[in-house]
Amino acid sequence: MSKDYVIALDQGTTSSRAVLVDREGRMVDCVQRSYQQIYPQPGWVEHNPQEILLSQLGSLTELVSRHGLSERNVAAIGIDNQRETTMVWDPSTGEPIANAIVWQCRRTADMVQELCGTDEVRRMVQGKTGLLPDAYFSASKLRWLLDNVSGARERAEAGELLFGTIDSWLVWVLTGGMVHATDETNASRTLLYDIHEGRWDEGLLALFDVPACMLPEVRRSASLFGETSYPGVPAGIPICGVAGDQQSALFGQCCFEAGEAKNTYGTGCFLLMNTGDVAARSKNNLVTTIAAAAPGTERTQYALEGSVFVAGALIQWLRDELGLIRSAEETEYLARSVPDNGGVYIVPAFTGLGAPYWRPEARGLICGLTRGTTPAHIARAALEALAYQTTDLVRAMEADAGRVLCALNVDGGASRNDFLAQFQADVLGMRVRRPQNIETTSLGAAYLAGLTSGFWSGTDELRGLRGDDDCFEPRMGRPEAERLLAGWARAVGRAM
């Protein structure tokens, strides 16, 4: 029987999904299960790894029974996952020693400050990992578990415990405990991995006091990790694509070549640019990270990454806190109902300003109000703010990469807003391309697994599957765009 499908397991921060993808790259079906967010203290965030498993395997088995799936009609499984979230388990029992510490958790902020306080250490860490030392990444979370769970350090040093990001955990469970591995993109988010040498780094392990014996083996994203061997899941399906969610989305957007980039407009924004085999070093507070590459790519591929903290969350704020709109979609109609922003700018620095400014103490503002300002102007200014923030990141990235983008691929919930997409094209002076399927995160995992298993022949075939994008060409004159950007720059200056 010929294989008809690949399955993507999309392990996100608030839910797990199993997605069925056919040969034409269409999403045939998707089962989604949410799970609990655990907040033990202000600023702390945890997930119960068994609940992650239950939601992920539950969605998988539901998909399997709906479509009569088995190793006979499924070519491969790919996994994409929330990055940086850290857990430790005992392979002899399969029991996690504690809840997973989620990427958002700030409990180790002081520890990182203490360990990486000097310029010398920061430079060393950034040089090797491409990241800025921060509690966000896995290393300090792992150290926290070893220092705070009773007996953990002794057991880890005796080789009795395993560390993993969520991809490792899923691979280990799905292969019946046979494989303890992760992929390069997830490894590159731990703060323990030398992205240039392609190995766990002894100096970083010493800095964070992590025993090497608990680390997973690192493999290419597009490679065989193992075969399914778990009760209730069809046996013998190869797991042969793994990537962190943002790198998976970059791949799912078909950004296979250096100079191609995507921006995801969700709660926040994530902008990634493929820089090929060059690990570009940022001067603008962006991070350098490993990108997923197609099978057969000889050299490690890299990306520059930057994020906007508050994007779709600003629209939620207009809806839930200000009560200015009833739904996020309504912003589009409101924004179009006025000829321009009426001089109003919103800087949504609720939690400070991220790259390229990096001013944690900055706070949000709305400026340029007059007696004529209406809710429509505010809604328009909010959508424009998403586009201005993205423009700042794109310009910083172009400077760091030493190349100019020719188009921006967009996805994420807010990318459905046509006003936003057009305004983004206008202020950037660049074509904005929105694929028909904006679920690019799961698509990337499916693509990686499908290429590795030979389900698809190569990246050219994948590009062909993409269908017709919605394209937004810049229509605004440059002087007008520059005038608006100057207004934004003045507003940002005030927020700082």
281 to 320, contacts with ligand ADP by CB under 6 A?
A: 312-313, 315-316
**Closer to ligand ADP at the Cβ: 215 or 446?**
446
The structure tokens 């025993």 sit at 211
Contact 44, 105 (CB under 8 A): yes
371 to 400, contacts with ligand ADP by CB under 6 A?
A: none
Q: What does the angle CA 162 – CA 288 – CA 356 come to, to the nearest 5 degrees?
A: 125
Under the binding rule (CB under 6 A), the answer on residue 413 touching ligand ADP is yes
**Closer to ligand ADP at the Cβ: 205 or 313?**
313
Which of these ranges, 32-40, 99-107, 414-422, 466-474, lies near ligand ADP under the rule CB under 6 A?
Answer: 414-422
What region does 285 belong to: left with phi over 0, alpha with psi -120 to 50, or beta?
left
Under the binding rule (CB under 6 A), the answer on residue 233 touching ligand ADP is no
**Closer to ligand ADP at the Cβ: 184 or 332?**
332
**Closer to ligand ADP at the Cβ: 328 or 366?**
328
Under the binding rule (CB under 6 A), the answer on residue 346 touching ligand ADP is no
Under the binding rule (CB under 6 A), the answer on residue 412 touching ligand ADP is yes
Integer CA distances (angstroms), 453 to 158, 225, 443, 487, in order = 37, 12, 15, 51
Which of these ranges, 111-119, 205-213, 363-371, 413-421, lies near ligand ADP under the rule CB under 6 A?
Answer: 413-421
**Closer to ligand ADP at the Cβ: 289 or 440?**
440
Which of these ranges, 120-128, 147-155, 277-285, 324-332, lies near ligand ADP under the rule CB under 6 A?
Answer: 324-332
| Cβ atoms within 10 Å of 181's Cβ, excluding its own | 23
**Closer to ligand ADP at the Cβ: 73 or 316?**
316
Name the burial class of residue 302, with classes exposed (0-12), middle (13-18) and buried (19+) by CB atoms within 10 angstroms of its CB: buried
Nearest to 52 by CA among 90, 20, 9: 9
Q: Which amino acid is at 237?
A: I
Name the burial class of residue 319, with classes exposed (0-12), middle (13-18) and buried (19+) by CB atoms within 10 angstroms of its CB: middle
Under the binding rule (CB under 6 A), the answer on residue 15 touching ligand ADP is no
Q: Which residues contact 215 (CB under 8 A, 6 or more apart)?
A: 163, 192, 200
Minimum CB separation from ligand ADP for residue 249, in Å?
Answer: 10
**Closer to ligand ADP at the Cβ: 14 or 70?**
14
Contact 196, 187 (CB under 8 A): no
C-alpha to C-alpha distance for 437 and 30, rounded to whole angstroms? 13
Under the binding rule (CB under 6 A), the answer on residue 417 touching ligand ADP is yes
Minimum CB separation from ligand ADP for residue 316, in Å?
Answer: 5
Q: Please, what's the b/e burial string for 353-365 (b: 16 or more CB within 10 A of its CB; e: otherwise)?
A: bbbbbeeeebebe
Under the binding rule (CB under 6 A), the answer on residue 414 touching ligand ADP is yes
Minimum CB separation from ligand ADP for residue 103, in Å?
Answer: 13
Minimum CB separation from ligand ADP for residue 54, in Å?
Answer: 21
C-alpha to C-alpha distance for 104 and 43, rounded to whole angstroms? 8
From candidates 267, 274, 440, 452, binder to ligand ADP by CB under 6 A: 267
Question: Is the C-alpha dihedral spanning 156, 103, 290, 280 positive or negative?
Answer: negative
Under the binding rule (CB under 6 A), the answer on residue 266 touching ligand ADP is yes
C-alpha to C-alpha distance for 410 and 236, rounded to whole angstroms? 36
Minimum CB separation from ligand ADP for residue 322, in Å?
Answer: 13
From candidates 27, 54, 124, 328, binder to ligand ADP by CB under 6 A: 328
Under the binding rule (CB under 6 A), the answer on residue 329 touching ligand ADP is yes
Minimum CB separation from ligand ADP for residue 331, in Å?
Answer: 5
In DSSP terms, which residues pair with 78 in a beta bridge? 8, 241
Under the binding rule (CB under 6 A), the answer on residue 347 touching ligand ADP is no
Under the binding rule (CB under 6 A), the answer on residue 331 touching ligand ADP is yes
**Closer to ligand ADP at the Cβ: 12 or 96?**
12
C-alpha to C-alpha distance for 68 and 152, rounded to whole angstroms? 42
Under the binding rule (CB under 6 A), the answer on residue 30 touching ligand ADP is no
Contact 307, 354 (CB under 8 A): yes
Under the binding rule (CB under 6 A), the answer on residue 416 touching ligand ADP is yes
Q: Which residues contact 120 (CB under 8 A, 6 or more apart)?
A: none
For ligand ADP (CB under 6 A), the number of binding residues is 15
- The residue ranges that bind ligand ADP (CB under 6 A) are 266-267, 312-313, 315-316, 328-329, 331-332, 412-414, 416-417
